[in-house]
Amino acid sequence: MVLFGLDLDYAACVVLFCLGLYMLVAKSNLIKKVLGLNVMETAVFAFIVTAGMVEGGDPPILVAGTSPPYASPIPHAMVLTGIVVAVSVTAVALALIVQIHAHYGTIEVDELKELP
Amino acid sequence: MEVVDVRPLLAPLISFACAGLVFAMGRSVFWRRFWSLTAAAVKLLVVLSMLPGTLQGTVFVFDVVEFTPGVGIAFRADAYGMFFSLVSSTLWVLTTIYAIGYMQGDKDRVRFFGFFALCVSTTVGIAFAENLLTFFLFYETLTICTYPLVVHAETPQALRAGRIYLTYTLIGGGLALIGSVMTLNATGSLTLGQTGILSADLGTFTLVTIFVTLVVGFGVKAAIMPLHGWLPIAMVAPTPVSALLHAVAVVKVGAFGVTRVIYNVFGAELLQTLGYASYLGALAAFTILAASVMAIMQDQLKRRLAYSTVSQLSYILLAASLLTPLAALAATVHIANQAFAKIAMFFVVGAIGRVTGKTRVGELAGIGAVMPWTMAAFTIAALSFVGLPLFAGFATKWYLSLGALQADAWWFVVVMLVSSVLNAAYWFPIIHLAYFKTAETAAAGDDRAARDPAAEPRSLRREAPLTLLVPILICAAYVILLGTTAEVVGMPTSLAEVAVWQSFGLEAPAP
Amino acid sequence: MSAAWPTLLPWLVVLPLAGAALVPIVAVGQPRRAGRFTLFVVLLTVVVAAGLVWHLSLTGPFSVSLGGWAAPYGIELRFDRFAAWTLPLAGLFAFVVPFAWRYLDGTLPPERWAVFYALLLLNLGGLLGFSVTADLFNLFVAMEVVSLSSYALVAVAGRGVAAWAALKYLLLGAVSSLLVLFAVGLLFTLTGSLNLLDVTIRLAAGGPSPAANLALASLTVAFMVKAALFPLHVWLPDAHAIAPSPVSAVLSGLVVKVGIVGLLRVLELAVGSGAPLEVFNQVLMLLGAIAIVMGAFLAIFQNDIKLMLAYSTISNIGYIVLGLGLASPFALIGGSVHVFNHALIKVTLFLAAGAIIHQTGFRTLSDLRGVARVMPQTSAAMAIGAVSIVGLPPTAGFVCKWYIALGAFEAGQGGYGFALVFGALFIFVYYVRMLNAFYFQQPVRPEVAAAREPPWSMRGPVLVLAALCLIMGILGGIPLTFVEPAVSDLLLSMGR
Amino acid sequence: MRWLGIALVFVAAATMIAGVADLPVHGTPDAPIHRHVGARYLEHGVAETGMRNMVTAVLLVYRGFDTFLEVVVIFTALVAVLALPRGAGKAGPARVVSPSGSTAAATSDADAVGPQQADVPVSPVVFFVVRLLAPFIAIFALASLYRGHITPGGGFQSAAIFGALFIALALVFGRERAARLVPVPARVWLQALGPVLFALVAFVGWCLTGAFLGYPADAAAHAVREAMVVTLEVGIAVGGAVILAQLFMAMEG
C-alpha cells in the first residue's frame, strides 16, 4: 500500500526498528534493553521478507499445488540465518546479565553506574 | 666521482654491534671495557681508511634498502660527512677512556655504555646519511638513545630534565618529519648529494614552510636561542654524557642538519635569491651575544659551559647563513674547533668534580695549584674560545670574518669581536681564581699579591687520575694542533675545504 | 601442485571453525591438550594461508565459487591483494596461543580451558572468513562469528565487572551488526544479488539513489562502531582492559581491524556505484584526525597499563582511517600497511604487559615501578613496543606515519599531516611515564622486587614479536609488494 | 541521557524513512529482487538440487557456506555461555541444586512421579498435557526434518522444536531429570555435530566434484546427493537441539 510515494510496509518496519532502538537506548533495565534489541532484529527480518514478497504469490515450494509467481526464496534463507544469529546474541546477552546479577545483585543500569 | 663501498654502512654498524655486545655481555667489567674500546678504535680506523679517498674528492655510496618508491635507507660519505664523523669518532675514543675512569663504582654502567655506543652509531649514521629519510631515521633514534643517558642519575631532577629534553626534541623531530615529507612531495626526491633539490617555482608558501619546519626541526638540537631551553637543564647528566652528547654529538647533529638543509636541500644560490637565510643569521647573531651574557651570570660551572655551547653553536649557524664559501669553511672548521675545546673543558670540570667535589665557580680558588695540568688544558681551551691566534678558535673567527666581508655583511665582524670580549668576560675570572688566588686569600676576600704558587706545600697537589688526565691533555693538544696547522695539506682544514667545494659545486682546484 | 592452491581457499576458513568444534572433544580427559591441539590447527591454517599468499604473488587475485555455482548464483570467496593480510593475521594467532598456555594457569579453571581455546579458534575463523568473502550476506555472518566470540572472550575471566563490560560491547556490536544486515537487505532489494562485484555493477547501472546511499551510510556507521572510531569507541577501553591479556592482544590488534576491512569494502562499493565519495572521505578524514588526538588525550590520565594500551588503539585506528579518508596513493598505502603493523605492535605490547601482570600481579604504573630490574627482557620488549606504537623511526609504527603524512600533503590536506604527526607525539607523554616507572624508579612492591622472568612459552613469543617490530620498521618495503598494486587497482577504479 | 536517546531515534527514523521511500514498491513480480538470482533458483532449482522446497535448496545447496557459518554461530553461542564463570555469585538466590544422582532417581521407576518433583510447582493440568503431547511434538519435529526438502521445514526448524520440547520437559519434570535426556559424555560430541558434519560433507563434495560442498549433478550419483543432504539436515537438527538444550541448562538464573 503506497501513500505519497512511501511504501507503508517498509515504513512500518522502520518504525518498529526505531521503537526497538528507543527501548535499547532509553530503558535502564538490562532485560528490557535486550528485548529492545530483539524488537529491532524482528523489524529488520520483517523488512527483508516483505521485500521478497509477491502480491498473491505462493511460497517457493514447487509442488503440484503451487503456481508462479512465487515469493523469492533468498530473503527467507537470509532471515532464517538471521534468526539463528539473533538467538545466539540474545543467549549470550542473557548469560552475561545472569553474571551481572549474580555479582552486583541488580540489573538496573543507573544502579550499576554508581557501584565501584 | 661516486664509488660504491660498504664502509659508510660499516661505521654505524660497528658501534651498533658494540652496543648489542655491551648489553649482552655487560655484566663482566672486562668485557664491557674491551668491547667499548675495540669498537671505538676499529671504527676510527674504518673512517680514517676512507680519508685519503675523500681528500681526492671521491664519494663512497652504499644503498641498503628501498623504503618508499624513490627514497630508501642509503649512505653517502662525502667530505662534509667525513669531517663530522672523523670528529665524532676520535672523540668517542677519548670519551670512552674518560668514561671508564669517571664511572668507576657508579651503578647501571651496562645501560650507560650500551646506550652510549648506540648514540655514537646514530651520530655517524647521520653524518653519512644520503637522504633526508635516513637522516631523519637516525635523528629520531638519537633522541630515543640519549634519553636514558640524560635520565641516568634517576633523581627527580634528572627525570624532569629528561621530560623537558624529550618535549623539545620530539616536537623538533615532528617538524623535521613534516619538512622532509613536504620536500619529498614537492620534488620527488630527498637526496642530500646535490647542491639544492628545491626550485624557486614551488611557491613561497611551500618553500617558507619547508625552510621553517626543517630549520626549526633541526635547530632544536642546535639549541638556537628560543629553542635552547633543554640544554642547560640537561646538564644534570653525568659528565661524560654532557661532554660527548651535549658538546659534540647531539648539538652538532642539529647544526650539521641545518647546514645540510641550507647547502644540500635548498642550495646556496636559491637561498641567495629567496633571502630566508638572513633571518637565520640575525637570530644566530642574537643567540651568540645573549647566550654569552647568560653564561656570565651562571655560577654553576656546567651551566656556564652549557650557555657557552649555545653561543658557540650559533657561530656555525651564523657562518652557514652567510652563504659564501669562506663562511662555509668557517662553519665546517668550527665543528672541530668547538668540539675539541668544549669537550676538554667538560673533561676538566668532570675531573675537578671527581677529585675535589667542587662544582661552583666561586669554589675554584687555588685549583691551579692543586691540579696544574688539568687547569692548563682548561686555559688552552678558554684561550681558543676567546680566539687568540695559535689556537683553534682563531681559525674560525678568521675565516668567518673573511666570509662576512665576502658577503659584505661587515656588522657580523663586529659581532665576532663583541663575542670574543664576552667570552673573555666569563672565562678569565675562572683562570684568575684558579691561579692567582689561594684558598685562604679568596676566603679572606682581600687581594694581596698572591704568594708564589711553587712554594705551595707538596701535599696540596692532587692531580686527576691518569684515565681522566690523558684524554684532557690529548684534547688540549688537538686544540693547539687545529689552531696552528690551518693551512697544512692533509690536516682537518684541508678536508673542510674539500667539503666546501662540494657544497658549492665548485671544481676542486689542483692541490 | 601450485594449481591446486586456490581450491584450498574455503578450507582456510573452515579449518579453524571445524577445529574449534573439535577442541572440547580433544580436551575431554586432558585440559592441556586443548592448547596443543589449538596451536596445531592454527599452524595448519598458517600453512594454507602461506600457500594462498604465495599463489597470489604468482598469479594475482583469484576467486573460488563455492559449491560450483558461478558468482552471482553462489557464494564467491575472493583472495585479492588486501586479503594477503590473512597470513600475518593467522601468524599472530600462532604467537598468542602458546602465550596463553601458561597464562591461563592463573586466570581460568582447567575445565574452561577447552571452551577458551574454542572461542579463540572461532575468532580466527570468523576473521579469515570476513577478510576473504566477496558475498555481502556471508560478510554479515562471518562478522557475527567474530563479534560473538569476542563478547565471550572479554567476559571469560572476570566476575561481574567483565560481564558488564562485555554486555556494553555486545549491545553496541549487535546494533552495528543489525545495521549491516539492514544495509544488506536494502542492497539486495535494489539489485537482486548478494555478490559484491555484481551489486557494484548493478548499483552503478541504476544511477545514484537515496536508498543505496542509506545502505552505504549504515554500513559505514556499523563498521565505525566495529573499528571503535572515536565517537563510537566507548565500548573499547573497558572491554580490552578487563579481558585477559592474550584476548586483549587479539581484540585490540586484530578484531578491531574488522571495521577497517569493512570500510575498505564500503569504499569499493561506493567507488563502483558512483555514490558521493567526497562526503565519505571528508567524514573519514575528520573522524580519523579527531580519533588520533582524543585517543592520545584520554590515555594520559590512565594509570592501568592495559587501559593505556587500549586507548592507544583508538588513536592508531585514527591513523588508518585518516589514511583511508585521504584516498591519495601514499595515504592508502600507509593506512593498509598500518593495518598489519599496528596488529603486530599491539599484540607485542599486550602480550608483554600480560607477562608482567602474570608475574607480578599488579597492573598500575605506581605498583609496577622498577619492574625492568627484575624482568629485563620483557620490559625491553615493552619498551620497543612503546617506541613503535608512537611511530618513532627505527620501528614498524613509523612506516605508516611517513606514508600518511606524505599522502596528506599529496592530497593537499597539509593540516591533517600536522595533526597526524603531533597527535602521535601526544601519545608519547604517557608512554614516557610508563618507561620512567619501569626503568628509572626503584621497586616499591616486594612482589615486584621478587618477580622473575616469565616462563619461556610466554617470553619466547614476546621477544620474537619485539624483534619483528624492529625488522618491519627497517624493511618497510616487504608489505609494499602486496599493498601497492592493491592500492593502485583501487585508485584505478576510483578514476584517479 | 534520556533526551540523547530520543534525539538519536528520531535522526535514525528520518534517515531510514528517506532511504526506504526510494525503494521500488514491494510485491510486484517484476521487482529486481525477483528477476535476477531469485528467478534462476526458481527456474533451475528442482533440476539442479532435486528438492522441491526452494528455501532449503538455497540454504543447503546454493548458499551452503552461509549455513555452515550459521551452524558455527549457534555453536559459538553455546561455547560463549559455557565459557562464563559458573555458579551463583554473592548476591544470587541461594538455590540448592540437588545432585543429579540423588533420591529423585530412586523413585523414577515408580510411576508416581508427581508435579512436586519440579523446581517450581506445576499445576497437574499442565503436567498431564505436556506428558501427553511430548511424543507427538517429537514426531512432528522428525517429520519437519525428514520432509524438509519437500514441504516447509528443515534442520533449523526441527532443532527449534526439539529445543522447545526439551525446555518444556525440563520445566515440568525438573532440570536434573531433563538433563539426563542429554547424557554428559555425549554432549561434547553432539554439540560439535553441526560444524563437523558440514566440514565432512563439504570434504566429500570437494573430492567428488572438485568444488567445496559441491553436489554431484549427474543422475547416477542421485543417491549420494540425497545422502549428503540428509546428513547435513540431521547434523543441523541434532546439533542445534543439543545446543539449545545446553543453553537452557547453562542459564542458572
Assigned C-alpha cell, B255: 647544526
C88 vs C338: CA distance, rounded Å: 12
Cα–Cα–Cα angle for B384, B386, B387, nearest 5°?
60
* pLDDT, mean of residues D180-197: 87
C418 vs C67: CA distance, rounded Å: 51
Whether the pLDDT of residue C137 is over 60: the answer is yes
Q: Collect all residues of chain D within an 8 Å Cβ-Cβ radius of residue A87.
A: 74, 77
> For residue D76, what is the nearest residue in chain C, using CA coordinates?
C149
B12-38 tens-digit pLDDT: 888 888 888 888 877 788 888 888 888
Lowest mean pLDDT among B140-149, B365-374, C182-191, D156-165: B365-374
Q: Do B65 and C477 touch (CB under 8 A)?
A: yes
Number of cross-chain residue pairs from A and D with Cβ atoms under 8 Å apart: 168
Assigned C-alpha cell, B291: 647566550
Find the domain containing A84 and state its range.
2-114
Q: Do D151 and A9 touch (CB under 8 A)?
A: no
> Quick one: DSSP state of residue B464?
P
Predicted confidence at residue B447, as pLDDT, reads 42
Residue type, D116: Q
Residue C394, in any domain of the structure = yes
Predicted confidence at residue C224, as pLDDT, reads 93
* pLDDT, mean of residues B300-318: 88
> For residue D7, what is the nearest residue in chain A, using CA coordinates?
A22
* pLDDT, mean of residues D213-234: 84
- The mean pLDDT of chain C is 88
* pLDDT, mean of residues B268-293: 88
Whether the pLDDT of residue B271 is over 70: the answer is yes
pTM of this prediction?
A: 0.89
- C488 touching B (Cβ < 8 Å): no
C179 vs C188: CA distance, rounded Å: 14
Q: Do residue B259 and residue B285 come from a single domain?
A: no
Assigned C-alpha cell, D73: 554461530
Total tally of structural domains belonging to chain A: 1
C403-447 tens-digit pLDDT: 899 999 888 888 888 888 888 888 888 788 888 888 888 888 888
Q: Do C393 and B174 touch (CB under 8 A)?
A: no
Q: Do residue B264 and residue B329 come from a single domain?
A: no
Q: Do A17 and D16 touch (CB under 8 A)?
A: yes
Predicted confidence at residue D87, as pLDDT, reads 59
User: How far is A83 from chain D, CA to nearest CA, in Å?
Assistant: 10
Predicted confidence at residue C97, as pLDDT, reads 94
Residue B62 phi, psi dihedral angles, 5° rounding: -150, 120
Query: Shortest CB distance from D251 goes to which of A7, A53, A98?
Result: A98
Which residues in chain C (386-405) have CB-CB distances under 8 A to chain B?
387, 392-394, 398-399, 401-403, 405
C268 vs C487: CA distance, rounded Å: 11
Predicted confidence at residue D97, as pLDDT, reads 37
Predicted confidence at residue D104, as pLDDT, reads 36
Among C33, C66, C136, C209, the strongest candidate for a mutation testing the D interface, having the largest count of D CBs within 10 A, is C66
Give the end of a domain, one of B274, B307, B328: B274
Coil, strand or helix at B319: helix
Q: Do residue B243 and residue B289 come from a single domain?
A: no
| Sole residue written with cell 545446543 | D243
Find the domain containing B246 and state its range.
1-274
- The mean pLDDT of chain B is 83
Assigned C-alpha cell, C82: 588486501
* pLDDT, mean of residues C330-336: 89
| Sole residue written with cell 659508510 | B8
Q: Do C14 and D202 touch (CB under 8 A)?
A: yes
Q: Do residue B206 and residue B305 come from a single domain?
A: no
B449-480 tens-digit pLDDT: 444 444 444 456 777 778 888 888 888 888 88
Burial class (CB in 10 A: 0-12, 13-18, 19+), B484: middle
| Sole residue written with cell 592474550 | C246
* pLDDT, mean of residues D66-76: 94
Which residues in chain C (16-45) have CB-CB distances under 8 A to chain D?
17-18, 20-22, 24-25, 28
Q: Residue B392 — very low, low, confident or very high, per pLDDT cuts 50/70/90?
A: confident
* pLDDT, mean of residues B338-361: 85
- A16 touching C (Cβ < 8 Å): no
Predicted confidence at residue B413, as pLDDT, reads 85
Predicted confidence at residue B427, as pLDDT, reads 86
Predicted confidence at residue C268, as pLDDT, reads 86
Assigned C-alpha cell, C258: 574488522
Query: Pick the residue with more confidence: C184 or C60?
Result: C184
- The mean pLDDT of chain D is 80
| DSSP annotation string for B61-105 | EEEEEEEETTEEEEEEE-HHHHHHHHHHHHHHHHHHHHHHHHTTT
Query: Shortest CB distance from A48 goes to which of C151, C160, C185?
Result: C185
Q: Do C440 and B154 touch (CB under 8 A)?
A: yes
Whether the pLDDT of residue B275 is over 50: the answer is yes
- C214 touching D (Cβ < 8 Å): yes
- C79 touching B (Cβ < 8 Å): no
Regarding chains A and B, contact by 3 or more CB pairs under 8 A is answered as no
Find the domain containing C331 and state its range.
278-496
Q: Do D211 and C156 touch (CB under 8 A)?
A: no
Highest mean pLDDT: which range of A109-113, B330-334, C47-51: C47-51
Residue C209, in any domain of the structure = no
Spatial neighbors of C438 by CB under 8 A, at least 6 apart, are C368, C369, C370, C371, C372, C379, C382, C383
Q: Do residue B51 and residue B157 come from a single domain?
A: yes
Whether the pLDDT of residue D155 is over 80: the answer is yes
Query: Pick the residue with more confidence: D142 or A114?
Result: D142
Give the end of a domain, one of B229, B255, B274: B274
Q: Do residue B249 and residue B306 come from a single domain?
A: no
Residue C63, in any domain of the structure = no
The chains found to touch C (3+ Cβ pairs under 8 angstroms) are: A, B, D
Predicted confidence at residue B333, as pLDDT, reads 86
Predicted confidence at residue D92, as pLDDT, reads 37
Q: Do D212 and C125 touch (CB under 8 A)?
A: no
Residue type, B89: S
B219-263 tens-digit pLDDT: 999 888 888 889 888 888 888 888 877 777 888 899 999 998 888
Q: Residue C219 — very low, low, confident or very high, per pLDDT cuts 50/70/90?
A: very high
Q: Do A74 and D151 touch (CB under 8 A)?
A: no
> For residue C151, what is the nearest residue in chain D, using CA coordinates?
D80
Total tally of structural domains belonging to chain C: 1
Q: Do residue B266 and residue B311 come from a single domain?
A: no
A28-70 tens-digit pLDDT: 899 999 999 999 999 999 999 988 888 888 888 888 877 778 8
C284 vs C290: CA distance, rounded Å: 10
> For residue D44, what is the nearest residue in chain C, using CA coordinates?
C73
Burial class (CB in 10 A: 0-12, 13-18, 19+), D220: exposed
Q: Do residue B193 and residue B303 come from a single domain?
A: no
Q: Do residue B259 and residue B379 come from a single domain?
A: no
Q: Do D65 and C66 touch (CB under 8 A)?
A: yes
C325 vs C287: CA distance, rounded Å: 9
Q: Do residue B143 and residue B242 come from a single domain?
A: yes
Predicted confidence at residue B189, as pLDDT, reads 83
Residue C170, in any domain of the structure = no
Query: Is the peptide bond preceding residue A69 cis, with omega within 30 degrees of 0?
Result: yes
Query: Shortest CB distance from A81 goes to which of C141, C167, C182?
Result: C141
Instruction: Please enumerate, as own/partner, the contacts of C383-386 that have beta carbons within 8 Å and a separation of 24 or more.
Output: C383/C435, C383/C438, C383/C439, C384/C348, C384/C466, C384/C469, C384/C470, C385/C345, C385/C348, C385/C349, C385/C352, C385/C466, C385/C469, C386/C349, C386/C431, C386/C434, C386/C435
| DSSP annotation string for D24-76 | PPTB-TTSHHHHTHHHHHHHHHHHHH--SBHHHHIIIIITHHHHHHHHHHHHH
* pLDDT, mean of residues B410-438: 85
Give the end of a domain, one of B274, B292, B326: B274
Q: Do residue B88 and residue B222 come from a single domain?
A: yes
D99-147 tens-digit pLDDT: 333 333 333 333 444 554 556 678 889 889 998 999 999 999 999 888 8
Q: Collect all residues of chain B within an 8 Å Cβ-Cβ radius of residue C401.
A: 177
Predicted confidence at residue D103, as pLDDT, reads 36
Total tally of structural domains belonging to chain B: 2
B122-145 tens-digit pLDDT: 888 899 988 898 999 899 989 888
Whether the pLDDT of residue A73 is over 70: the answer is yes
C59-107 tens-digit pLDDT: 888 888 888 888 788 888 999 888 888 999 999 999 999 999 989 888 8
Closest CA to A12 of A37, A44, A58: A44
D167: Cα separation from own chain's centroid: 13
B62-109 tens-digit pLDDT: 888 877 777 888 888 888 888 888 888 888 888 888 888 888 777 778
Predicted confidence at residue B439, as pLDDT, reads 64
- The mean pLDDT of chain A is 88
Coil, strand or helix at D110: coil
Whether the pLDDT of residue B494 is over 60: the answer is yes
Cα–Cα–Cα angle for B284, B285, B287, nearest 5°?
65
